[in-house]
Amino acid sequence: MQSRLLDIWSRIPAADTLQNWPIWLKWTVLIRVSFTAFLSPFNATVINPSLVLLSKAMGVGSKTATYSTTTCIIIRGLSHFICNPCINVYGRRPIALLATLTTVIGGIGSACSPNFATLVGTRAICGVGMGSMMSVGTAVANEMVFLHERGEKTSMYSIFVTNGGHIAALIGGYIGQAGGWQWNYWFGAVITGLALLFAIFCFLETLFYRDTVAIAMKRHERTYLEVLFNFKKNKSTTKALHMRNFSYAFGMLTWTFINVLPVVTVATIYTKFYHLKSGPIGVSLGISLTIESMIGGCCAGRASDDIMYHMEHRHNGERKLEYHLYLSSLAAIFMPAELLIFGGLLGKTGFVEPLVGFGIGYFIPQICSTTLYSYISDCYKSQPPETGILFNLSRGLSFVVGYFALPLAESIGYFWAWFVFASLLGLSYTAVGM
């Protein structure tokens, strides 16, 4: 099979197929799309440590202020279903550039918003761009590597995506404290703008059509500038956009879990219980989550590949894709424990101990993301963008936590509220465990 694919690729001009690119160019493109995907959660959550400042400036309650973040997250999740069919027909590059530009425009609009209603609208615009950036990143990260490399490479991509929100929390509080809540949005817009400039000249099209018709129609090797700016020739010659393309991914949606609870609640909770300012809140949250997700990300990819190799060797060369899922069983224990420790210690100890609870369990979502990315990508080898939709939508669906987490905690107590969330996490694993 591999020799047949190599034979096909050898007959395609080098500039037209990423499998013939040199290693340094592959890594350049992979790191670029990973960083762009990193900017999606970064832009969405960089305001979170400064939500109290935002609520005072806008004249709304701190709970209402969280709607600016949750609105962005849900729009980001839903936008994948619009973006994905487009990137399969028109290519990764044009959609990536348009999405990044949309995010920059939305970020500038957020920083200049005169009232809360306008702010929510501009955050929705940002959400459209952020979701599209992640869709492109997922597709590129999966199609650039061979099967035996997928665990390690998707692990690196997953580290970028997961730590976007953590780095935002780490620096967002001090940005807001020093320059006001507007600079949280300005900073995100500037960083994303720089990423856009880099993408214009350094992000090559990675969509390669492997059908015989597309191969036969390739008459010459495109130059570097043609690959960058000739969008018409990058467009699919055998596919057209249809309404049914926008509904395919819904049929594969099976599993989601809460993954934004810390970032939308900690600012209000730590202001109430520990009277911390936005800067220390951001650092406290960012350090604990970043360290643990980095540990999980660095271990997950190689561990997943090693388990696959070990089980294949143990069963006389029989390779089952379900071997990827063995590592995700840790989620059934550590993720509920994470929330129980946080809810049980909140207000009864110092501000560090509850964050240790978050840290204990937060490396598990990173492991789950990597193993499930690898598993689903192997199951649907020709549909990496669609599989990425599921995970990005799962992150987006967790927006609902921001609307009821704090009211529920005030009604029944923080421990019992977090106990409810822990129970939901435990139940959500059954879809994978079965």
CA end-to-end span of the chain, whole Å? 32
Q: Homologous superfamily of 18-207+257-433 in CATH?
A: MFS general substrate transporter like domains (1.20.1250.20)
Helix (H) or strand (E) holding 222: none
Q: Looking at per-residue confidence, does 144 or 148 come out higher?
A: 144
pLDDT at 102: 92
- Please give the angle made by the CA atoms of 17, 2 and 30, to the nearest 5 degrees: 40
Grade residue 216 by pLDDT with cuts at 50, 70 and 90: low
pLDDT tens digits for 262-285? 666 777 788 888 888 777 877 777
pLDDT at 252: 40
- Select from 239, 306, 287, 257 the least CA-distant residue to 421: 257
Place of tokens 């509904």: 247
Percent of the chain with pLDDT over 70: 66
Residue 338 tokens, joined: 């994470």
pLDDT tens digits for 192-210? 999 999 888 878 777 765 5
Residue 64 gets the label, from left (phi > 0), alpha (psi -120 to 50) or beta, of: alpha
Instruction: State yes or no: pLDDT of 112 exceeds 80.
Output: yes
pLDDT tens digits for 69-104? 888 888 887 777 777 777 777 778 888 888 899 999
